[in-house]
Chain A
Amino acid sequence: MSEPLSFELSRPAVDPPRLPEAEVAGPAPADVLGREMLRARPPGLPRLSEPEIMRHYSRLASLNYSISENFYPLGSCTMKYNPVVNEAAAALSGFADLHPYQDEDSVQGALELMWRLERALCAIVGVERVTLQPAAGAHGEWTALRMIAAFHHSREENRTEVLVPDSAHGTNPASAALSGFHVIEVRSGDDGRISLADLESKLSPRTAALMLTNPNTLGLFEREILDIAEMVHATGAMLYYDGANLNAFMGICRPGDMGFDAVHMNLHKTFTTPHGGGGPGAGPVGVKSELVPFLPAPTVERTNGHLRLDFKRPQSIGRVRSFYGNFGMLVRAYTYILAMGGDGLSQASQDAVLSANYLRKLVEGDLDMPHEGPCMHEFVASAQNLHEEGVRALDIAKALLDRDFYAPTVYFPLVVPEAIMVEPTETESKATLDAFAGAIKEIVAKAKSDPQSLHEEPTKLPVGRLDEVSAARRINAYLQGLSEDPVLRWKAPAEAPETAPQQTLQESPC
């Protein structure tokens, strides 16, 4: 099944939607603005009626997997159920219809929500203050590194290096580089945890920070975290926590107590705001007291029950996003925290850990397990055991799609060959986990009996495996000027004028 593009469905005869008329005696644009200011031809937007539009997007929706219908065992992504009440909360007119430049007195409820969310996040991760401004996890990482840079700068220390483990998320080194740091990689030891010897050798007076996620991307808790923190702090560097894996231990332990100085959180992972097919998310950053002066402005302050935005922060790194962050996502996360409470969040993390260990146990006879358990909220298996059959992690991922499961994260972390990273979360039932393990067993059996057929999966989805190599070749040809097919957008065929409106604006109905 496939659906044409809106541009391909477009018909020039379709009337524009009925919209308000001006009903005032104002001048027309052409009366006031010079001809060179005006657009010569209308933009080539599609022309469709509302019924056609609704059907188009409904059909597109049916081509998607989503957490509402499918299990998403995506490691490091924490795809859990998105409570529907969160959506109702964010849609309340008192939030959705607020203009960001209203006077403070008229937005006390919004500021109170931000303040309370900040307090709750502080309690969960063990920090002094939290900025809610960053729009996503990577944005939060970068914000934290800017604060760390400002901290060292304020002490007139020239620290130019950020240490990142080889198992880290790709955003870590990217955020560090964008923050102006040199990235130094720290190796993992054989047990999958950071090598203290290698860390020792790379720490120096040039080190600004070590970026770490705990549990690490292999799903293993860094047992020696207190020693790591001591080593890092002894050199005058800071310890940064990548909160992608926070779902492992809410209510069990806190990054702040482990010695982390800055902590980012993904509200779209741990705190159930929906992923939206790739955002919007929110990536608040919590900091210990020594970094508080450098928080982005404004912060929300509360005095005698009155809330205000504090813009006067002389040491602030400035502003990292317009307005106050992805407020709608903050409403959703706060709603979730209220509903779960401290008791619910603790149980959620315990269930996440239990489910991951359970699923790991169910599939350990089918796939390689390069590291010893127990794991925390996720585990990394490897398809190396199917090497002789010529079956790879990608084949297993694609075969799962045919069995109604989304695929785990594959080929990450980079330190495990043929990695298959599975994170079940607390909102998948035992029955779902059993069924998933059953699917893995069946796929592995097929890998041994009929490996060729696995290379052809998926066969039950709207499209089969797409040839990305030839797509890349076509893009290259376009970028080098050897082709006029941009590949990255639709373009009206030259001989089909009906798809690109030819009328001049003077002929338009308005």
Chain B
Amino acid sequence: MPYLVHSPEDRSAMLETLGVRSMNDLLVDIPQSLRLESLQLPNGLSEFETMAQVSSLAERNHVYPDRLTFRGGGIYRRFIPAAVSAVTSKPEFYTAYTPYQAEASQGTLQAIFEFQTLIAELTALDVSNASLYDGATAVAEAAMMAYVHTGRNEVLVSGYVHPEYVQVLRAFGEGRGIKVRKGAEPNKKTAAIIFQQPDFLGLLVDARRLTQAAHDVGALAIACVDPISLAMLAPPGEYGADIAVGEGQQLGLSPSFGGPHVGFIACKRELVRKLPGRLVGTAHDAHGRRGFVLALAAREQHIRREKATSNICTNHSLCALAAAVYLTYMGPYGLRQIADVSFRRAHSLADRLARLQGWEPAFPERQFLNEFPFRVPKARSVVRKLARKGILGGLEVNRWFRELKDVLTFTCTEVNDPQALDELMAVLES
């Protein structure tokens, strides 16, 4: 059988060492009434047959080429350097456990320490944790921090924050008795204002004003940010946000039908003790050599149990490693170039779309980076027509926002080359 190592002879020898006759003698504690004859599953397959079945499922999906994908909504097609998977597919990284034994886990620990530093640099905040599951749970964890820090139980969601992030925030909040309010004015009960920059539609918000509004009532400002945008935009630390969170999929991870990706969270110094999850810090051995260890574990579930800052244990280490490789590959100017090219192409596309009959920017007065909303006649049939031509067109956001009828958001990144833009326009003009 695949992956099993004992031969029948091994099993007999082991049973003999144990002084028992059969496996049943080892399973005596299980009540007889619970014992199964067998599992109601087919028998196993050869690797060839296994892959044939799995591949046939993969082939039942339609894959749009990255250059013809203009749909974002939180997951984006980006150029992924070969270096990323070359590193993450090293078995020393992907088959290692959580680095409990620091001396035998320095590779993972140092990579996470680098990830923490990269995120802190990008967000211009003091400290980042080792990773969270995704952008949505990162928003929810940040709200928990604000709740604990301020002792207040309302969080305000400002503007078009990713609707799924808000849904997750509500589910998390319900357990702790935290109220999630949208479009309300901050007051003395407000623990935090949460905003997304750029927002779910791709539009830029006035992060400075929102941060100030939070601070005016003694609340925290939580910025949910696009990590690539931070090569270009003022970072949360610069405008005074207390916590920055976000989704790291764009940093070297394929869309993969929505996961696994990586959430990140960074904060000011005074909030570090409230951070969820793992943190890696430097330490030294008896010879004075520098090494890396899991730090401030007294916040965590395995020590604090019901008093922990979060229940998170397994996080998204390997995805954090991918992000670290990606950011190191790009460096400050490579990342800036990616953001810049995406910006220019998206603005060029928006100009061309605006010339289509009946098409208009949904929020003409608002600025954007590389994703933007358009009001489009017969949006649904436009998207279908594009799909027939092999193009993954704009995202219909009406399914989340009733007021945004016939609004599509389009995304452009460095993978959408000028010819791809021409192909998109040709279909729309036909």
Contact = CB atoms under 8 A, between A and B. Distances in A.
A260 B13 CA distance: 36
A48 B90 contact: no
Given A96-B254, A340-B44, A252 B36 contact: yes
30 contacts: A5-B110, A6-B324, A16-B337, A17-B329, A19-B414, A29-B339, A39-B234, A60-B107, A63-B107, A82-B94, A89-B51, A99-B69, A109-B60, A171-B302, A253-B30, A277-B108, A319-B136, A319-B167, A326-B259, A328-B260, A339-B50, A351-B5, A361-B17, A374-B25, A401-B104, A407-B100, A428-B5, A462-B291, A467-B285, A475-B296
B22 to A, nearest CB: 10
A335 B50 contact: yes
Interface string B41-61: 111111100110111111111
Contacts of A321: 133-134, 136-137, 168, 259
Nearest to B239: A36
B426 interface: no
Given A95-B257, A251-B38, A338-B50, A490 B344 contact: no
Contacts of A278: 97-99, 108, 112, 130, 278, 314-315, 317-318
Interface in B311-359: 311-319, 321, 324-325, 327-341, 343-348, 351
Given A37-B204, A319-B164, A508-B333, A277 B98 contact: yes
A108 to B, nearest CB: 5
B259 A427 contact: no
Contacts of A220: 29
Interface stretch (A176-184, A199-207, A231-239, A438-446): A176-184
A299 interface: no
Given A24-B345, A64-B96, A430-B13, A58 B283 contact: no
Contacts of A103: 387
Contacts of A475: 281, 295-296
Contact of A464 (B121, B285, B313, B367): B285
Contacts of B262: 280
A426 B235 contact: no
Interface in A393-429: 397-398, 401, 406-407, 409, 412, 426-429
Interface in A22-49: 22-29, 32-33, 36-40, 42-48
B42 A429 contact: no
Contacts of B247: 322
Interface stretch (A141-149, A284-292, A381-389): A141-149
B91 A427 contact: no
Interface string B284-307: 111101111101100011111111
A486 B126 contact: yes
Contacts of A397: 101
Contacts of A120: 41
Given A174-B304, A323-B259, A338-B54, A488 B272 contact: yes
Contacts of A474: 281
A33 B340 CA distance: 12
Nearest to A253: B34
Contact of A7 (B101, B117, B235): B117
A74 B97 contact: yes
B186 to A, nearest CB: 22
Contacts of B329: 17, 50, 53
A78 to B, nearest CB: 10
Contact of A277 (B26, B30, B93, B304): B93
Contacts of A176: 306
B6 A64 contact: no
A345 B41 contact: yes
A453 B79 CA distance: 52
Nearest to B162: A322
B183 interface: no
Contact of B4 (A21, A79, A351): A351
A110 B257 CA distance: 8
Interface residues on A, range: 35 or more
Contacts of B26: 353-354, 357, 374
Interface in B116-143: 116-118, 120-122, 124, 126-128, 130-131, 133-137
- Residue with the greatest number of chain A CB neighbours at <10 A, chosen from B69, B121, B421: B121
Nearest to B111: A60
Nearest to A95: B58
Given A95-B61, A505-B336, A429 B10 contact: yes
Contacts of B36: 251-254, 257
A19 B95 contact: no
Contacts of B346: 26
A461 interface: yes
Contact of A110 (B57, B118, B321): B57
Contacts of A95: 58, 61, 256-257
A171 B35 CA distance: 29
A280 B295 contact: no
A358 B321 contact: no
B62 A22 contact: no
Nearest to A42: B332
Contact of A67 (B61, B81, B95): B95
A45 B328 CA distance: 7
Given A60-B106, A139-B133, A430-B6, 15 more contacts: A2-B291, A22-B341, A54-B83, A66-B91, A93-B63, A98-B61, A113-B57, A135-B133, A136-B315, A338-B53, A345-B39, A350-B23, A351-B6, A426-B4, A466-B283
A61 B296 contact: no
Interface stretch (B173-181, B187-195, B214-222): B173-181
A298 B114 CA distance: 36
B382 interface: no
Contact of B333 (A2, A123, A509): A509
A54 B85 CA distance: 11
A3 interface: yes
Given A279-B131, A320-B171, A489-B127, A258 B34 contact: yes
Contacts of B127: 486, 488-489
Contact of B31 (A93, A97, A226, A334): A226
Contact of A173 (B62, B102, B306, B347): B306
A101 B258 CA distance: 9
A314 interface: no
Given A149-B175, A429-B10, A17 B334 contact: yes
A354 B11 contact: yes
Nearest to A59: B107
Interface string A116-145: 000010011000000000011111011001
Contacts of B118: 45
B306 A177 contact: yes
B340 A510 contact: yes
B93 A43 contact: no
- Residue with the greatest number of chain A CB neighbours at <10 A, chosen from B33, B131, B232: B232
Contacts of A92: 54-55, 58
Contact of B282 (A72, A112, A341, A471): A471
B334 A488 contact: no
Contact of B314 (A2, A63, A137): A137
B1 A407 contact: no
A370 interface: no
Contacts of A23: 417-418
B121 A97 contact: no
B404 interface: no
Contacts of B316: 135, 276, 279-280
A107 B61 contact: yes
A268 interface: yes
- Residue with the greatest number of chain A CB neighbours at <10 A, chosen from B117, B137, B287: B117
